[in-house]
Structure 1
Amino acid sequence: MAEAYDFPETGTVVDVGDGLGGLLVEILRRRPGLGGVLFELASALPDHVLGELGDDSRVRAQVGDFFGSVPPADVHVLEYVLHDWTDEQCARISRNCRRALNEGGRVVVVDAALPSGNEPHFGKLLDLMMMVAVPGGERTEADFARLFDQAGLRLTRALPTDGSLSIVEGVPRCGARPVRC
């Protein structure tokens, strides 16, 4: 994921609810001008891997709950987060990310964007497993567009990766305060 997406050269990336922070470390390794925050519940932070970056000045862990608020960022990354939650909860999380975006920022979701049709896809199996285990599930690109719209975001693109995941990007929608257009 860190290689498949064009992260900015400078600024701050907040890895929202990722647990260990492995993706954040990989992003920061590829972009030495970026700083990062792993934003997670206190119970998930003791085992984080942020030290693997080897530069504590560029990365930190912050305790919090994404249903309340998230730290400001140029990019909020939600890897394997939204598929755990209902549409209403996902809109709330995404709205909190949009509110905390710096000007020109974006929200990046890493999940299995389901293709249409009946062709086999790992995301469809994952969708069944998620529906059994949690109230969420995998979503189509159109589903992400609706969730983003409810959060004041506009889906700009959905990038496939070499695996079964996609990178879904949203930016603040004009008129969705406090963003200038």
Structure 2
Amino acid sequence: MLPEASKTFEAEGLSDRVELVAGDFFVEVPPGDAYLIKSCVHNFGDERAIELFGVLRRAGAPLLLVDTMIPAGNEPHYSKFDDVEMMVIAGRNDRTEAEWAALVTAAGFEPGRVVRCDERFSLLEAF
């Protein structure tokens, strides 16, 4: 992935602003000012998600989690379709804002605000 990512950053004129590092985020992450994770944690069950968040928490920087969050109520919403799709394809599920907050709390973070980005994604800050 690094060679492809490098080409992309270079083509966009961003290579001087980014350091690409290979690794396993279930084991260790490099130091950073914040950790941004988008659209991947819903692929993991709760225990694995807490494990990942624990690695990030030990690194000592805030977490910015961008993922699908199921809103309350029975109104139609993209996340409800995605939840069923995730159960069928990956054997996992999307989560509500409260469920995401519980997972980051279990890993030692303090959940902050949630920002709705669009119908599909929300951003949860955790400190």
Counterpart mapping for 1:108-123 below 5 A: 108-123=64-79
Task: Establish whether residue 47 from structure 1 lines up as the match of residue 7 from structure 2.
Answer: no
Q: What is the TM-score with the length of structure 2 in the denominator?
A: 0.90
Runs of 4+ in 1 over 4 A off after TM superposition: none
Counterpart mapping for 1:76-115 below 5 A: 76-101=35-60, 105-115=61-71
> In the alignment, residue 4 of structure 2 is paired with which amino acid?
D
Bigger proportion of residues as strand: 1
Alpha-carbon shift at residue 158 of structure 1 (Å): 0.9
Which has the bigger relative contact order, CA under 8 A and spacing at least 6?
A: 2
Alpha-carbon shift at residue 55 of structure 1 (Å): 4.0
Q: 1:125 aligns with which of 72, 76, 81?
A: 81
- Give the SS at the match of 1:60: coil
Task: Establish whether residue 134 from structure 1 lines up as the match of residue 90 from structure 2.
Answer: yes
- Give the SS at the match of 1:73: coil
List runs of 5+ in structure 2 lacking aligned partners.
Answer: none
> In the alignment, residue 109 of structure 1 is paired with which amino acid?
L
- Give the SS at the match of 1:77: strand
Bigger proportion of residues as helix: 2
Kindly report the root-mean-square deviation, in angstroms, between the aligned alpha carbons of the 2 structures. Answer: 1.4
Task: Establish whether residue 63 from structure 1 lines up as the match of residue 22 from structure 2.
Answer: yes
Q: Which residue of 1 aligns with 2:108?
A: 152
Count of matched residue pairs: 125
> In the alignment, residue 161 of structure 1 is paired with which amino acid?
C
Alpha-carbon shift at residue 143 of structure 1 (Å): 0.4
Residues 112-144 of structure 1: per-residue CA shift (max 9 Å, x gap): 111011111101111111111224321111101
- Give the SS at the match of 2:21: strand
Q: Which residue of 1 aligns with 2:32?
A: 73
Distance in 2, matches of 1:55 and 1:145, equals 33
Residues 73-99 of structure 1: per-residue CA shift (max 9 Å, x gap): 111000001111000111111111111
Q: What is the TM-score with the length of structure 1 in the denominator?
A: 0.65
